[in-house]
Structure 1
Amino acid sequence: MKNDLAIKNYLFEEKEDLTMSVDKFKNLFLLRFKLLLKDFYLGTGSIIAIIFSILLQFTLSNAAFNGQKGQFILSMTVFFNSIMSAIMMISIPIAQEKEKNQLKISIEYLFTPLIPAFLIIMGINIILPLLSGVQMTPYFYIIYMFITMILTIISLIIGLLIGVSSKKISNTSYLITYTILFLTLIPQIGTSNGAFEKISDFIYTGVLLKMLMNVSTNQPIEINKFYLFIILIEFISLIILFLLLIRKKRAKINQ
């Protein structure tokens, strides 16, 4: 309650401008970080990723995956962590504040949840190869971290869009569920189905899954201009959509 009250005080102070001082940004960032650590529900994907990494190591047969059991576990758990947790950690708290009329429509304020969520998720991504039993050379491990970083950042922005655009918490829950299923299942099914693979090639998660599978087996990534274009255009489109949404919300407030 104390942390909620502190955030509420930031929202309803008398200043009319929507900018935020460095000290205020820092303090709000720390409050967001503490709230994320306290609310385990928001990090469900990260918890599942850790548990599954350990559990599947002892229950799955390596022969059933042609010697690539670790790679399968890693790709699945990274998706839980970098997609499911990333979307939930951002969309749910923002939607809750919006439903209570506590959401401040400012870019600085809305971006404060992204940093602590990013740090938590990437911290877990660091240990997932070890928990999954995947051995990568330092070179490919660095590439792995870069791939998961891109995956996490784009997913965080999607969470931001869901949170800001949702009218009620119930609507947020539906959007989260359908979005996560779409972003995770299609690429996974696409690894064994030609039709779904074609769809997966137009989704950032599908493109990054292919890259992740390569680096997890210490294989170089083929630089594909089409794949790079897909990632870049989706990232830019999400940023533009977010800025337009913020502009629309601000216009309603000023009416």
Structure 2
Amino acid sequence: MPRSLLSELRHLYTTALLGLSVAAGLPTSVVAQEPTKTRFVDCSLLVAAEYPATWPTHPFPRFQLIHERTIGPVSTLNIDVLLMDGNTGTQMDVPPHSVVRPELKREKSGPFGLAWTDRIEAWQFGGEACVVDCRRLLDQAADGVSPLVQPADIEAFEQQHRRVGFGDVVLFRSDYSDRYYRPFPEGSRYIADVVDRLAPGYPDPGPEAMEFLGQRGVLTAGTDSASMGPL
């Protein structure tokens, strides 16, 4: 590949490739960068049966790696079955998580209730990462309740860096996954203890923050919490 083309591609594909996360784990090394210092960062969580990779309540199935058959002690061929659904590990979320289909004519019905996963354009996953520091919110709520990211948190990023807008991927960093995504039994703190109201909820953007991003023209957002839906 010609060096000039390679340089152009590196410029086009900027820091954030994973945006829409319901349970995205942002490493502490993810920071806002200048376009000339673009790099790829893997923001995905480890998926394993001994980790809290799936939502613990019905109807979501638990992630399973089933060792179906071992062909032989010296064989390179074994049979494993991987059982998982779309709500596993680092994942994308879409508007129908919160917006109802328009034909149902409910309070939250709207056109975005039809924006399913297969209708999201691939280009929306690319953009410059705008990492909003929300670490002050970690564990700052009652048990079972999520502390909410507010428009003021986004404005603080803008004052320090620049205005966010169309083409940006806004990532909310609370370090929640860094601290609590652990193997069981310690990993119960990640989601199960929160659902059971034994621990404070994960920080997440509130409705006002999402409205703020919409007004700015931002199409893609990510979080290092357990879900793109506060409790």
TM interval, short-chain normalised: under 0.3
Higher strand proportion (structure 1 or 2): 2
Higher helix proportion (structure 1 or 2): 1
TM-score (norm 1): 0.26
Select the structure with the greater relative contact order (CA < 8 A; seq sep ≥ 6).
2
